[in-house]
Amino acid sequence: MAPCIALSGNPEAPEAIYAQIDPVNWDPFSRANRIASVHNYCVHQSTTDDGLRRSLDFMERKVDLAREQRIEANDRLSNRESKRSLFNYKYLPAPEKDLIATMSRSTLHSHISEYLINCIQMSELALARGHKRAAHRCQYYRKKLREGSWIEDRFLETKSETTNTFFLMSSLEHGLVELRSQSSSVPDWRLPKQLSTEALSDALRKLQSASLFNFADIIHSRGAKDQKDLVLGSANRDAFFAVNHEIIENSMSHGVVSAINPHVARSSLEDFGKVFFLQTSTENYTVRKSSNSDYFPEGFADYHRASCGSKLTGKQKYRVVTYFDTGLGVQQHLKKFGDIPGDRSISQIAKERLSARPIIGSGRGFEKMKMFTAGLRAFLTVATPDSTYSFNGFDQSESETDSSKVIRGTVVSVFLPEK
């Protein structure tokens, strides 16, 4: 089973679903446009026609290769294998493997992101075609995805603010290469803050241009009437970027396979994720329990009460920014790479300042996140396969439960009340 896209952690998904689909009747071209635009997005070329064309070329070349292999294939099994090779570089036959070898790292990452999207699309297709077993699997798979990561079934759908996904890795890695070519003082194992800030700004800019997510709303400076609003706005923006940087840097240097992850060289690739993305959404919360969606974690009610203040309706809209990496999860990662015996909860890790980086002074990242979350009066949750941790920015209380909806990786969500 391909270890690289272990988004759900279920060894039977998504290839198992794929195996149920009749590969002969499946037409890759019908989806080529959409896949190309997704791929295009991943490599940050969405703004130019040239970029789109190149992405289409790239896709078509791969589809041609698959078609050739399909012709050569004699039985259904090899047919499946060749189909699989479309999306998973680990199973690619020789000619395309050579092609992969010549790819740049960022292209490879986008290739993998694309694979993930395809898997989800495959599951959708299976559902649509009514394969009983596949449909069952698909529902299970989608449920897990939605519970764990809020991955929507449609990616990069900018018409709705609840369904957007921004893949971060290729843009961050590309930025790193650019920055290193300009300056020799870029650290080896650290992500410059400039890059994490750009990644978030870029995502928010795109959402804002579609009038979906106005960042000014959440930093309380909409229609800044005077200088005071600007001061408050800029303070909140700086704080939010500080939280953003901490999350992105941790995922990039511990959770996923990246140029700044020092553990990659001395361990199996299965210990790291290949996909890292952020999603934004807006959720309503009311005092009536029944009307709240499952997205809200335990302990949110207290926070909501403080956040609402004197509002009579008890209803509040929250902007939610979620980061998802498909690594091992904080605890498992520390256990493996931090040489820390025994099981630790996330709050213990924060308190004891445990770190997989053997440098005096490291391990304060969690404190930093909490400090700025408190400054923003926001709500923070960190979910891993082992536990779910939440931090209330109003009274700075924290709680942790052993239950978790996440099967693999670390999911960090920041809830910001919309004013």
Which residues contact other proteins (rule: CB under 8 A)? 185, 187-190, 193, 227-228, 230-232, 234-236, 238-239, 241-242, 359-362, 364, 367-368, 371-372, 375-376
| Minimum CB distance to other proteins smaller for 274 or for 370 | 370
In whole angstroms, what is the distance from residue 401 CA to residue 365 CA? 21
| Residue 410 C-beta-side C-alpha neighbours within 13 Å | 26
Beta carbon nearer to other proteins, 136 or 180: 180
Nearest one of 354, 410, 366, 356 to 387, comparing CA atoms: 410
Considering the complex, state which of residue 215 and residue 296 has its C-beta at the smaller distance from other proteins.
215
At closest approach, how far in Å is the CB of 318 from other proteins?
A: 20
Residue 173 CB, nearest approach to other proteins (Å): 18
CA 299 – CA 296 distance, rounded (Å): 9
Angle (CA) 179 185 188, round 5°:
80
Instruction: Report the alpha-carbon angle 333-251-182, nearest 5.
Output: 130
Dist CA 138 CA 248 (whole Å): 30
Of residues 393 and 409, the one with the C-beta less far from other proteins: 393
Angle at 263 between CA 262 and CA 266, to 5 degrees: 115
Shortest distance, CB of residue 245 to other proteins, whole angstroms? 9
CB closer to other proteins out of 140 and 189: 189
Minimum gap (Å) between residue 124 Cβ and other proteins: 43
Is the distance from CB of 389 to CB of 379 less than 8 angstroms? no
**Least distance (Å) from other proteins to the CB of residue 11?**
38
Burial class for 402, CB neighbours closer than 10 Å (0-12, 13-18, 19+)? exposed
Is 217 or 229 the residue whose CB approaches other proteins more closely?
A: 229
State the minimum distance, in angstroms, from the CB of residue 241 to other proteins: 8
